[in-house]
Amino acid sequence: MVDLVSQYEKIKPSIDEAIQHVIQNAHFINGPAVNRFQLDLQEYLGVGHVIPCANGTDALQIAMMALGLKPGDEVITPSFTYIATTEVIALLHLVPVFVEVDPQTFCIDPKAIEAAITPKTKAIVPVHLYGQAANMNEIMKIARKNGLFVIEDSAQAIGSDYHLEDGRKVKTGTIGDIGCTSFFPSKNLGCYGDGGALCTNDAELAKKIRMIANHGQEQKYVHDVIGCNSRLDTIQAAVLHVKLRQLDNYIDARREVAAKYDEAFAGIPGVKIPFRADDSKHVFHQYTLILEDADRTALQDHLLEYEVPSMIYYPIPAHKQKMFSHFGSSELNLPTTDWLTERVISLPIHTEMLEEQQAYIIEQVQSFFNQH
């Protein structure tokens, strides 16, 4: 699905030097590269504060802790997402309230958010799924009207631009109270292990986040609040410092692959190519088709036979996972989520896709539809 080896080969000298530098100085924890990367990312995102942490799941958890959410508080989230988004809600003894997504964008449906608000609702966690932003203009209006926090899960959409109603163009993850992202190797900005970050424009909140990520301390051995140990390794920060300079090129490369797929698949009956929303620049973490009228398993088998990988993100929606059975969420009626779960399929997309590789993948997809 991705080609991280070829990507590394192209930036090998800078990466190797950056890693060697960390090792030779034994700056493994909180070395200078961490702060350097943090400042770079702040500038890239145009945000007041970036707080690096150990992974994207931690980022979400720390965000909910920093906002002071209490056991029993309800958090509205899509069911059609990676499990991490919803898992941390339950881990903190908050109540996940699963709602529908928009069938075109795959992202949380603002109307469904409004319908799910109760006196216990405290926060909304929109997920910018596959690399395209949720409808943040509407979501922020709903949040302000109802006094709710917004935590953006931007793990799949780092670098994506969003057009606010006031005309400003901002990066996804910088719109709500806190944005969370992941540097898992296959993410659009990936490191060589685990990594993550939070961002916010609120200085007080940034201070709290930093404390929580560091055992609840501001001053060494003085612990004011319950926290955790969530750091970005210096080696990972050094890798990210190099790779951040490539992020816009990486996004362009992904968008080029997506455009070629679009052209090849637009005319296939029963197949829907990814929708491009007006307000968001799609950064194509995934290229995901909807098979409105085609046998998905047969297509996957056909592709496998020709050694073309494909993936289903995600085969079981969160509300149907056993881990949430005590919330009774499997009884929920989320037809759009169920419909998408049964019909989406993601094809290989990455920054190093060669023209002939993509032509081969396209040929195999087309040959399936010519036979069926």
The correct pick among 79, 86, 121, 156 for binding ligand PLP (CB under 6 A) is 156
SS3 85: helix
- Phi/psi-derived region of residue 63, left when phi > 0, alpha when psi is between -120 and 50, beta in every other case: alpha
Counts of helices then strands in the chain (DSSP H, E): 12, 14
- Phi/psi-derived region of residue 74, left when phi > 0, alpha when psi is between -120 and 50, beta in every other case: beta
Q: How far is the CB of 359 from ligand PLP (least distance, A)?
A: 29
Q: How far is the CB of 181 from ligand PLP (least distance, A)?
A: 8
Q: Does 132 bind ligand PLP (CB under 6 A)?
A: no
Q: Does 348 bind ligand PLP (CB under 6 A)?
A: no
- The nearer residue to ligand PLP, 155 or 353, going by C-beta atoms, is 155
> Which tokens is 14 given?
């800078």
The correct pick among 87, 153, 177, 279 for binding ligand PLP (CB under 6 A) is 153
Strand bridging mode 217-219 / 49-53: unpaired
Report the alpha-carbon distance of residue 74 to residue 93 in Å, rounded: 10
**CB-neighbour burial class of residue 168 (10 A; exposed 0-12, middle 13-18, buried 19+):** exposed
Q: How far is the CB of 57 from ligand PLP (least distance, A)?
A: 3
- The nearer residue to ligand PLP, 157 or 299, going by C-beta atoms, is 157
Number of residues that bind ligand PLP (CB under 6 A): 15
Q: Which residue is nearest to ligand PLP (CB)?
A: 56
Q: How far is the CB of 56 from ligand PLP (least distance, A)?
A: 2
Q: How far is the CB of 334 from ligand PLP (least distance, A)?
A: 17
Q: How far is the CB of 49 from ligand PLP (least distance, A)?
A: 20
Q: Does 286 bind ligand PLP (CB under 6 A)?
A: no
Report the alpha-carbon distance of residue 96 to residue 74 in Å, rounded: 6
Distance (Å) of CA 121 to CA 145, 300, 330: 13, 40, 20
Q: How far is the CB of 251 from ligand PLP (least distance, A)?
A: 16
What's the first-to-final CA gap in the chain, in angstroms? Answer: 25
Tell me, residue by residue from 53 to 82, as one string, x for binding to ligand PLP by CB under 6 A and - for no binding.
Answer: --xxx-----------------------xx
Q: Which among 61-69, 148-156, 215-223, 261-269 is the span making contact with ligand PLP, rule CB under 6 A?
A: 148-156
Q: Does 238 bind ligand PLP (CB under 6 A)?
A: no
- The nearer residue to ligand PLP, 55 or 364, going by C-beta atoms, is 55
From 169, 145, 177, select the one nearest 69 (Cα to Cα): 177
Question: Nearest-5° angle of CA 23, CA 45, CA 261?
Answer: 95
Q: How far is the CB of 265 from ligand PLP (least distance, A)?
A: 24
C-beta of residue 108 within 8 angstroms of C-beta of residue 134:
yes
Q: Which among 36-44, 50-58, 72-80, 230-238 is the span making contact with ligand PLP, rule CB under 6 A?
A: 50-58
Site for ligand PLP in 81-120 (CB under 6 A): 81-82, 84-85
- The nearer residue to ligand PLP, 184 or 284, going by C-beta atoms, is 184
φ/ψ (deg, to 5) at 346: -110, 140
φ/ψ (deg, to 5) at 90: -70, -35
Report the alpha-carbon distance of residue 288 to residue 310 in Å, rounded: 10
- The nearer residue to ligand PLP, 55 or 234, going by C-beta atoms, is 55
Tell me, residue by residue from 169 to 208, as one string, x for binding to ligand PLP by CB under 6 A and - for no binding.
Answer: -------------x-x---------x-x------------
Q: Does 155 bind ligand PLP (CB under 6 A)?
A: yes
Q: Does 288 bind ligand PLP (CB under 6 A)?
A: no
Give per-residue burial for 130-140: e unless 16+ CB within 10 Å, then b: bbbbbbbbbbb
Instruction: Please state whether the peptide bond connecting residue 314 to the residue before it is cis, i.e. omega within 30 degrees of 0.
Output: yes
Query: Interface with ligand PLP by CB under 6 A: which residues?
Result: 55-57, 81-82, 84-85, 127, 153, 155-156, 182, 184, 194, 196
